[in-house]
Amino acid sequence: DGGITQSPKYLFRKEGQNVTLSCEQNLNHDAMYWYRQDPGQGLRLIYYSQIVNDFQKGDIAEGYSVSREKKESFPLTVTSAQKNPTAFYLCASRPPDKSNTEAFFGQGTRLTVV
Amino acid sequence: QKEVEQNSGPLSVPEGAIASLNCTYSDRGSQSFFWYRQYSGKSPELIMSIYSNGDKEDGRFTAQLNKASQYVSLLIRDSQPSDSATYLCAVKNSNYQLIWGAGTKLIIKP
């Protein structure tokens, strides 16, 4: 079955630690996105990538980093520079920008700082 | 002004009634419009997409688009408790970016 897989579902981070959230898709989509969602809030764009080896900052990129070495994979690293990383992280993908197709989401990763 | 605006709610509707959710957008060149449903702790799932003016119906759901007034709405007929969720409006603007509203929390009261 085609889809987007995020792992892990739950992640705990100690202060000062970097952690990496995984996102893999087998939908053959070019574009991939990372969003952050805080309780009762909408989706805020962290980073996005339209093609392999290229990505752009979203609205809240500070304290985060990404890579896009393969079309299928778009991992997000939450660095120690992100002071308030506790949130629900969602990865999404969709076909190239000029299509009308909707975004497809993974099941999300809930990150908690302990 | 936010690019995509929704009333955060909560919107409380009796079971069996019609729930009406609204979304306005600022980019007049926007092309595609999507409604997603998100249950607490889960990822958003697509409910409806609409691309041209008018109504689009799918079961109990109807999406309405009015490009002249720059709003898109979602009607849910015969509301059920299982419809209780947050509904997110997403708009693909003239730069092909997908812009999200903050969502409206809908509560269906039995």
- pLDDT above 90: residue B95: no
Longest Cα pair distance anywhere in chain B, in angstroms?
43
Q: Is B110 exposed, middle or buried (0-12, 13-18, 19+ CB in 10 A)?
A: exposed
Residues in chain B with CB shorter than 8 Å from the CB of A102 are: 34, 46, 49, 90
Phi, psi of A26 (to 5 degrees): -120, 30
Residue B79's alpha-carbon distances to A5, A33, B14, B110, in angstroms, are: 31, 32, 7, 10
**pLDDT attached to residue A99:** 66
Q: Which of A100, A102, A107 is facing B43, going by the closest CB pair?
A: A107
Q: Chain A to chain B, count of Cβ pairs less than 8 Å apart?
A: 43
A interface with B, Cβ–Cβ < 8 A, is 33, 35, 40-43, 88, 90, 94, 97-98, 100, 102-103, 105-108, 110
Residues of B in contact with A100 (CB under 8 A): 31-32, 49, 51, 92
Mutation test of the interface with chain A: which of B39, B98, B106, B107, choosing the one with the most A Cβ atoms within 10 A? Answer: B98
- Asked if pLDDT for residue B67 goes beyond 70, the answer is yes
Question: How do residues B5-60 score in pLDDT, each as one tens digit?
Answer: 999 889 999 999 999 999 999 999 998 999 999 999 999 999 999 999 999 999 99
Specify whether the CB–CB gap between A90 and A108 falls below 8 A: yes
Pairwise CB contact (< 8 Å): A102 & B46:
yes
Which residues of chain B have a CB within 8 Å of the CB of A41? 102-103
> What value does the mean pLDDT take over residues B94-104?
90
Q: Confidence band (pLDDT; 50, 70, 90) for B74?
A: very high
pLDDT, averaged in runs of 10, over chain A (114 residues) = 89 91 95 92 92 94 97 96 93 79 91 91
Phi, psi angles (nearest 5°) of residue B52: -125, 160
Q: Among A43, A100, A106, select the one facing B100 at the smallest CB separation.
A: A43
Distances (CA, A) of B36 to B7, B63, B84: 15, 11, 13
